[in-house]
Amino acid sequence: MGKILKTWRWFFLILFFFFFSQKIIWARDYKVDYQVEYFLEEKEGRIESPVSFWIKITNLLSSVYVERFILTFPSSFLVKDFKAKDDWGEITPQIEKLNDTIKVTVKFSNPNIGKDSVNNFYLNFYQDNLFKVNGNIWEVILPTIEKEKEDSYKVIVHLPKESKKKISLAKPKPTYILNNQIIWENPKEKTLYAVFGDEQYYKTTLYYHLKNEKPYPVYTEIAFPPDTLYQKVFIEKVDQKPFFVYQDDDGNFLARYLLKPFEKKVIVFDGVISVYTKPRVEIRDFINKKIKDQSKYLLSSKSFWEISEIEKKINLSSLKTIKDIYDFVVDKLNYNQGLVLKKTERKGANLALSYPNQAVCTEFTDLFVALAREKGIFSREVEGYGFTQDEKLRPLTLTSDILHAWPEYYDEEKKIWVPVDPTWQDTSGIDYFSSFDLNHITFVIHGKDPSYPVSAGMYKLEDSSDIVVKPVSYKPKEEIKIGIKIKNLPKKIDDKNFYLVNLVLENQSNVSLFGKKITFESLDINISPKEFLIESFLPFEKKELKIKVNSHIKNKKKAATFNVLFDGKKVFEDQILIIPYYYNLGLKITIGVLFLAILMVLFLKRRYD
């Protein structure tokens, strides 16, 4: 493939085969069976990884035997404490540390000779950086061995017996899982990836630098991290509170601020963002309902998502599925590590095709979106944060801050948005199409406009680090609180007339709410409508509702209870006095008679005076 970054983490296993005369024989004269086992041990918040290699070599000719072999590791592998043995006992491995590699050479003490004879080799060592504890999850990236087609290869991961962690993501899918063992047989992929734990929590602080350069007041908007199918945001504090918030067509969480002439403001968002391996059930219906309106623009060619004379540049007929498009993007573009720290302009899909070796995450994403839309598949861009402890494997490349971009496509059959990451597949060799991970945090979604809203980390007045993300192990708590103000709720009604009541609800919770009902209850009062469905309710957001009320009982004076329930829980209660209409009528008649009597008295008094 010519992509250096794709191969830098692989093992290199070199077997030297010799005649008795020391003539080199190639691997086809041998069958090699590999079994590699990783034993996870959790100690003081980190994972140690004893590793065991069992290599079984079967001679296929009578005239040759294996004298030695070499196992080479990249120097980034923190390997140590090598111990080796063969069928005759312990042997001493020779360790050489070169510039970029660690070379382990082992010579068999007394190799078995003859056709179908077997030589076994056992190597044990420690590797410290294969398994990482990231907040609430364990994550592992395992390189694989390049083997011949006729050889066998088994990888076994042993979890600690007392561990409650369950595997939530695996690429590729394990052959089988047995108790605390995860087993892959003959994997074809260059890298195995697994996550233990089905949700991750990130303590997040974001800074938004705002400035009004006008001599008059202006409004400006910023984007807080939104809830998505795979993400839930728990707000701890926002300094300063917005005066208005709303959700746009793509589902972004937008907050509006007023800036006085020449005023500067720094808005600070503090919260915890939960990321999940599976779609959230409570938000799925809401997101699917938005597709009808979003479909009006999800296939359009916007500035960065259009390709001129596309038929001359790409064989579109070969791109029959979304997987074909994904594979084309990964194969066509080459990630350019040298552009990461340079403030390069976003090229878009058209220029990405012209300069395939000058690509960063935005080019991978723009090309995917452009091709998917060209083939009639709803797609969009996501900008956010990619948590990684290895920027060579999973780079972050939006230049304004430590940001990342990846695409999503809409699966019509499953009725869900599916995130994919061709950039990280290109750099790591990990499959980011068939499943995702827990390392992607969404800041903004671009379906309608490829450039708006602007992501957190890009509201700057000068060079500054405005994104702080740290994985944590504690699970955030929902704090549901609904504020309610009721205008013109009468203290007294009669049993004949209708009364209009206005309500203002405010989501004072620390989370967004979806699919919640507000219900009105009273045994003695008719209320229309009796309930509203609030499909989406952002923190700080206000909803205004209108209802009509009238008495359910007739010709009876009674104090009626009026209740407001949100999601089945009472948030407001008041008393309304119901009186018969004739009470009011009688009162009006009495007042009228008294008024007439007073007028008569005054008239008579003036006449006789």
Residues 175 and 52 in one domain: yes
pLDDT attached to residue 155: 93
Domain of residue 382 covers 202-472
Return the percentage of the chain with pLDDT > 90, whole number. Answer: 57
Q: What is the 3-state secondary structure (H, E, C) of 147-164?
A: CCCCCEEEEEEECCCCCC
Residues 428 and 525 in one domain: no
pLDDT attached to residue 24: 40
Evaluate whether residue 604 is within a structural domain.
Answer: no
pLDDT attached to residue 394: 52
Using 50, 70 and 90 to split pLDDT, how confident is the model at 45?
low
**Confidence check: pLDDT of 16 > 60:** no
* Residue given tokens 């005369």 in the structure block: 21
Given a contact cutoff of 8 angstroms between Cβ atoms, the answer to whether 528 and 555 are in contact is no
Residues 220 and 305 in one domain: yes
Domain count within the chain: 3
Q: What is the mean pLDDT of the chain?
A: 87
In this structure, which amino acid lies at residue 564?
A: V
Residues 369 and 325 in one domain: yes
Using 50, 70 and 90 to split pLDDT, how confident is the model at 600?
confident
Residues 178 and 230 in one domain: no
User: What's the CATH code of the domain at 509?
Assistant: 2.60.40.10
Evaluate whether residue 99 is within a structural domain.
Answer: yes
**Confidence check: pLDDT of 536 > 80:** yes
* Structure-token pair, residue 434: 């068939």
Pairing state of beta strands 30-39 and 152-158? parallel
Q: pLDDT digits over 229-276, tens only?
A: 999 999 999 999 999 999 999 999 999 999 999 999 999 999 999 999
Pairing state of beta strands 46-59 and 118-127? antiparallel
Given a contact cutoff of 8 angstroms between Cβ atoms, the answer to whether 315 and 279 are in contact is no
Residues 390 and 494 in one domain: no
Evaluate whether residue 137 is within a structural domain.
Answer: yes
The more confident residue out of 108 and 407 is 407
Q: pLDDT digits over 538-565, tens only?
A: 999 999 999 999 999 988 889 999 999 9
Evaluate whether residue 568 is within a structural domain.
Answer: yes
Q: pTM of the full predicted structure?
A: 0.83
User: What's the CATH code of the domain at 143?
Assistant: 2.60.40.3650
Residues 420 and 439 in one domain: yes
Residues 254 and 321 in one domain: yes
Residues 183 and 215 in one domain: no
- Give the domain-ending residue among 152, 170, 197: 197
Residues 191 and 215 in one domain: no
**Confidence check: pLDDT of 132 > 80:** no
The more confident residue out of 110 and 255 is 255
The more confident residue out of 91 and 398 is 91
Evaluate whether residue 269 is within a structural domain.
Answer: yes
- Give the domain-ending residue among 178, 197, 216: 197
Evaluate whether residue 349 is within a structural domain.
Answer: yes
Evaluate whether residue 597 is within a structural domain.
Answer: no
Rounded Cα gap, residues 3 and 160, in angstroms:
36
Q: pLDDT digits over 569-581, tens only?
A: 999 999 999 988 6
Q: pLDDT digits over 385-425, tens only?
A: 998 766 555 555 554 567 899 999 999 999 999 999 999 99
Is residue 32 classed exposed, middle or buried when 0-12, 13-18 and 19+ CB atoms within 10 A define those classes? buried
Evaluate whether residue 590 is within a structural domain.
Answer: no
Residues 360 and 424 in one domain: yes
- Give the domain-ending residue among 177, 197, 217: 197
Residues 40 and 118 in one domain: yes
Residue 132 CA: distances (Å) to CA of 48, 187, 193, 439: 9, 22, 12, 13
